[in-house]
Structure 1
Amino acid sequence: MPVTYADSWTETLGDLEKRRHVSWGMGGPERLEKHHAKGKLDARARIDYLLDPGTFQEFGTLVGGDIAADAIVTGTGEIDGRPVLVGAEDFTTVAGTIAPGSNSKRYRLAELALRTKTPMIILLEGAGFRPTGDHYGRTPTDLLAQARCSGKIPMVSAVLGPSAGHGALVSPVCDFSVMSPHGAIFTAGPPVVKQSTGEEISKEDLGGPDIALASGVVHNVTDDDETALDAIRRYLSYFPSSAWSYPPSRRPDDSCEPRETPELLDIISRDNKYVYDARDVLDVVFDRPDWFEVQPEFGPAIICALAHLGGHPVAVVANQPLVLAGSIDADAADKAAHFITVADSFHLPLIFLTDNPGMLPGSGSEQGGVLRSGARMFAAQTAATTLKLHVTLRKAFGFGSMVMSLLGFDDQIATFAYPGATMGAMGAAAMGQATKAGEDFATVLREMELAASYSSAEHMGFDEMIDPRETRNVLLTALRRGLYSRQAAPEPVCRTTITP
């Protein structure tokens, strides 16, 4: 009989299995039961829910020794058949805190994501650095590795419980962050705040969903852990795995086909006095039923959405007439600037749907930094190297038109306008008041305003004036033509502008 050595492995493999079970057990049955009783998934259940079944392969399982996985579960897996890197802080183990070992795991996660050109996902619920006597001065920092990933691989985070200190910094560095109702994010938690400033405050009032949305620290809030993880899967479906590849197109179906859009005649009144919901326009123009809004509660005067047009992923920036009549305030401009930069980094074509009377005027708006934020949005869209398409639906005035890419010689692959669209430095009513024009001259100004689109068309101010019923088809034709220009391998975007 041939010699076998299987028996010699029994003790060694038994020891390995025992150590693994310590890690897999996380904080133990009592802490897990308490965690689940709050309606939350534990770290490993979150990973199982997020990834395609059976695809998770862990690394760093034994880091931390008796401290299970050193309070963060890390590994690789797949979403819709595409590889991802994922890390989940384990709040049931020493409150998900960070020590040198777990910090090294986090660094390794980002390092592998960049090396393998793979999206990185971080699921946050932790209390920041663990109070130990270890020296952190030369410990590899995960944030350094994460910063090196920026603009090169998609980075997404979910705040699924309290997240404080160093761990909380992960979220705003990511491209997209979603929060569950249990989430809270802050520089330091309530006990530290009380000790430092004397202020007594709950974690919800300090950094809960309402606060995080209002500040713009997180982009979207969902109903529970599961819907937060669903949002991550959906968000990533529009993106390539890295900046070294183009966004994946969907398999064609009936929703991808050309079609006229007569519904827009009922949605968009020709009279600027009547508002409409820009979301209804997106429902009609883009593939059905498919678009995903990013940061809907912050800066709602602009809608930023991921969509498909003819099966091709696109990023949509649309003025929202329901809010401030479409005027662009500081929050809306900041939101759009970030969204444009992310879309450009990963080669998503940008489609601007414009209907605004300009930047929001007034003392409050000026004190809020509307000019700086507007300049930030202008710099982002002007510096964008991806395909850009523009449609003026009804009006575009002043700097508000420039930030929405209604600007000649700005590398758009297509610019369109509806007949009667009003354009210029400012609207006729505002200009009449500013110049103290008499009634007769004010009438002339209004007539000039209405004729502005034809005057602009006569001087090639845009490529073509279109019937609203042609909107989807002209955008789809222009997009397909633009995509044909992609005849070389993509590379990460090199940015040279200084962000205002």
Structure 2
Amino acid sequence: MSTESKSKVLADARAAAVKASPARERLNLLFDGNSFVELDAFAKVGDKGAGVVTGYGAIDGSPVFAFAQDIESAGGAVGKIHAAKIKKVYELAAKTGAPVIGIYDSNGARLSEGNDALAAYGDMLQWSSNISGVVPQVSLVLGTCAGTAAMIACNADFVVMSENAEFFLSAAGAGDAGKAADAAKSGTAHLVLPTEAEAIGAARNLISMLPLNNLAASPVCDFSEADAGAALAAACENIADADMRAILDSVFDANSVIELQKDFGSDSVAALATMGGFTCGAVAANGKLGRDDCAKIARLVSICDAYQIPVITFVNTEGFKACGEETLAGAVRESAKLAHVYAQATCVKVSVIVGAAYGSAYIALAGTNAGADVTYAWPCAVISALEPKTAVAFGLGAEITADKSRADAENEYKETTASAYTAAADGYIEDIIDPAATRSVLLSTLDMLAGKRVTGLPRKHSNIPM
């Protein structure tokens, strides 16, 4: 066969192997224009495709590996060859220190392969776990993601879904619970977007904000400053009714706050944002924290710690919810997990007490246990071992007289014993700052802490209360 004939055979074979499909369209949307390079394009199961497209490309100029299950090739069935292609992506990501994005859309296992199909899922799950905390992983659920595939997808740092996608362990128990809205409510999905294109865009945005790996520096993003000093001053004047998300928007770079797990945990905000172009974890604790709030915040702090992303925590919480339902559902375990994650994290940690900081919630988020490098407070902050009304009832009841009401005694307690000035005098906060200057203070603090290095005690891992 002549060279010309061989070239034609190759061209024909390649055209057949890389024919248009939803999987390839999604990958082309994901990567910068014309940057996607396919791997193992000729891999087949018999005379059919492997049910997954794999390769690498660039997102905002940085290298990223990806796989996209191909629903039009045997229903995206997972088998030995399918898993081998995905495993290679994970291996290359580990060798090169580049992130991985997995696009899920499959009807399940290739049942004809029997135990080989089980082993295939096992390889995928093992390698997803192997690179966890080494390189960022984002799961894009754009179709059906069920059974073991759901476990693998949930193993990623972030899960992004389109509204029409399904995400569940068992088809028998799925029903409405497999819908994207319910994945958002349960905290399984970090972001849910109306369309596939928007979900893919959100995954691109997340990856562009993260370091390439756990040893790399954070990228520097374009930014503009939020001119909101007056809004922060106003929030301090009426901190009990302040919108904590609005405070984050006022402090971080304009339009940079990406709120995660928005429908999971109603009294907290967990987000990624940029400060002076550098990525930070942004936490806002408000009201009384429930088990879902604790789980959401702990997850974000853990991810940030893995990739040395600073965490800035804004505290305005009266403590943890104390009711039978919360306790039975594991509130104590989740609050202990939250405290454990903060204490264990060695990334830069800065806390700003903007309002209430009571009892165990103060200890977990801003106190000694939190291991905050620096803790600031607004002048309106109230820092107390107990809620002021409880502290007055138990310890200052004798001060309530005909001339001093209970409300007067509580206000006096807040302005003296529990004030930010008392905490500063006792050495428990580094400074009391002007709310309008919060952004500039934090920028200076992050710059000062940029070289932070911490060596922990020798151990395999801590025993976190799961």
Same fold (TM > 0.5): yes
Q: Deviations over 1:224-274 (max 9, x none)?
A: 0000011011111221100011211235x6528xx78222122343463xx
CA–CA distance in 1 between the matches of 2:312 and 2:70? 40
Residue pair 2:134, 2:213 contacting (<8 A) in 1 also: yes
Equivalent residues in 2 for 1:472-491, closer than 5 Å? 472-485=439-452
Q: Deviations over 1:55-107 (max 9, x none)?
A: 11111111115655411000010000000000001111111110100011111
Amino acid at match of 1:294: L
Amino acid at match of 1:255: E
Amino acid at match of 1:327: K
Q: For residue 355 of structure 2, what is the aligned residue in structure 1?
A: 394
Post-superposition shift, 1:411? 4.1
CA–CA distance in 2 between the matches of 1:230 and 1:165? 26
Matching of residue 365 in structure 1 with residue 326 in structure 2:
yes
CA–CA distance in 1 between the matches of 2:157 and 2:459? 17
Gaps of 5+ in 2: none
Residue pair 1:22, 1:66 contacting (<8 A) in 2 also: no
Amino acid at match of 2:328: Q
Q: For residue 447 of structure 1, what is the aligned residue in structure 2?
A: 412
Q: For residue 35 of structure 1, what is the aligned residue in structure 2?
A: none
Q: Which has the higher mean CA deviation after the structures are superposed, 154-163 or 260-269?
A: 260-269
Residue pair 1:267, 1:280 contacting (<8 A) in 2 also: no
Residue pair 2:354, 2:380 contacting (<8 A) in 1 also: no
Q: For residue 438 of structure 2, what is the aligned residue in structure 1?
A: 471
Q: Give the alignment partner of residue 87 of structure 1, picking from 67, 77, 80.
A: 67
Matching of residue 169 in structure 1 with residue 129 in structure 2:
no
Amino acid at match of 1:20: R
Residue pair 1:265, 1:468 contacting (<8 A) in 2 also: yes
Post-superposition shift, 1:437? 3.6
Equivalent residues in 2 for 1:369-388, closer than 5 Å? 369-388=330-349
Q: Give the alignment partner of residue 248 of structure 1, picking from 219, 225, 246.
A: 219
Post-superposition shift, 1:409? 7.3
Q: For residue 158 of structure 1, what is the aligned residue in structure 2?
A: 140
CA–CA distance in 2 between the matches of 1:329 and 1:476? 31
Give RMSD over aligned pairs: 2.5
Gaps of 5+ in 1: 1-6, 27-31, 33-41, 194-198, 321-325
CA–CA distance in 2 between the matches of 1:281 and 1:392? 12
Amino acid at match of 1:480: D
Post-superposition shift, 1:138? 5.9
Amino acid at match of 1:43: A
Amino acid at match of 1:212: A
Residue pair 1:162, 1:182 contacting (<8 A) in 2 also: no
Matching of residue 319 in structure 1 with residue 285 in structure 2:
yes
Greater than 6 Å deviation, 4+ residue runs: none
What SS does the aligned partner of 1:430 have? Answer: helix
Residue pair 1:287, 1:308 contacting (<8 A) in 2 also: yes
CA–CA distance in 2 between the matches of 1:332 and 1:261? 28
Check 1:336–1:446 CA distance in 2 against 1; reply closer, same or farther (3 A cut).
Answer: same
Q: Give the alignment partner of residue 41 of structure 2, picking from 42, 57, 61.
A: 61
What SS does the aligned partner of 2:229 have? Answer: coil
Residue pair 1:127, 1:165 contacting (<8 A) in 2 also: no
Q: Give the alignment partner of residue 255 of structure 2, picking from 289, 297, 310.
A: 289
Q: For residue 261 of structure 1, what is the aligned residue in structure 2?
A: 229
Check 1:254–1:348 CA distance in 2 against 1; reply closer, same or farther (3 A cut).
Answer: same
Residue pair 1:301, 1:328 contacting (<8 A) in 2 also: yes
Q: Which has the higher mean CA deviation after the structures are superposed, 123-132 or 422-431?
A: 422-431
Equivalent residues in 2 for 1:306-345, closer than 5 Å? 306-320=272-286, 326-345=287-306
Residue pair 1:353, 1:390 contacting (<8 A) in 2 also: yes
CA–CA distance in 2 between the matches of 1:436 and 1:479? 41
Q: For residue 23 of structure 1, what is the aligned residue in structure 2?
A: 17
Check 1:395–1:72 CA distance in 2 against 1; reply closer, same or farther (3 A cut).
Answer: same
Post-superposition shift, 1:166? 2.4
Amino acid at match of 2:14: R
Q: Deviations over 1:8-60 (max 9, x none)?
A: 2333333333333333236xxxxx6xxxxxxxxx1111000010011111111
Q: For residue 373 of structure 2, what is the aligned residue in structure 1?
A: 413
Amino acid at match of 2:279: P
Matching of residue 13 in structure 1 with residue 7 in structure 2:
yes
Check 1:12–1:168 CA distance in 2 against 1; reply closer, same or farther (3 A cut).
Answer: farther
Residue pair 1:427, 1:449 contacting (<8 A) in 2 also: no
Post-superposition shift, 1:494? 8.3
Q: Which has the higher mean CA deviation after the structures are superposed, 208-217 or 129-138?
A: 129-138
Q: Which has the higher mean CA deviation after the structures are superposed, 386-395 or 68-77?
A: 68-77
CA–CA distance in 2 between the matches of 1:234 and 1:426? 42
Post-superposition shift, 1:278? 1.1
Matching of residue 497 in structure 1 with residue 462 in structure 2:
yes
CA–CA distance in 1 between the matches of 2:390 and 2:267? 20
Check 1:380–1:8 CA distance in 2 against 1; reply closer, same or farther (3 A cut).
Answer: same
Post-superposition shift, 1:223? 0.9
What SS does the aligned partner of 1:247 have? Answer: coil
Amino acid at match of 2:34: G
CA–CA distance in 2 between the matches of 1:494 and 1:418? 38
What SS does the aligned partner of 1:141 have? Answer: helix
CA–CA distance in 2 between the matches of 1:317 and 1:206? 28
Matching of residue 431 in structure 1 with residue 431 in structure 2:
no
Q: Give the alignment partner of residue 350 of structure 1, picking from 311, 318, 340.
A: 311
Amino acid at match of 1:469: A
Q: For residue 227 of structure 1, what is the aligned residue in structure 2?
A: 198
Post-superposition shift, 1:277? 1.4
Q: For residue 86 of structure 2, what is the aligned residue in structure 1?
A: 106
Amino acid at match of 2:12: K
What SS does the aligned partner of 1:483 have? Answer: coil
Amino acid at match of 2:10: L
Q: Which has the higher mean CA deviation after the structures are superposed, 44-53 or 62-71?
A: 62-71
CA–CA distance in 2 between the matches of 1:385 and 1:418? 25
Q: For residue 29 of structure 2, what is the aligned residue in structure 1?
A: 49
Matching of residue 118 in structure 1 with residue 98 in structure 2:
yes
Q: Which has the higher mean CA deviation after the structures are superposed, 441-450 or 290-299?
A: 441-450
Matching of residue 73 in structure 1 with residue 53 in structure 2:
yes
Q: Give the alignment partner of residue 423 of structure 2, picking from 456, 466, 471.
A: 456
Residue pair 1:293, 1:304 contacting (<8 A) in 2 also: yes
Check 1:495–1:150 CA distance in 2 against 1; reply closer, same or farther (3 A cut).
Answer: farther
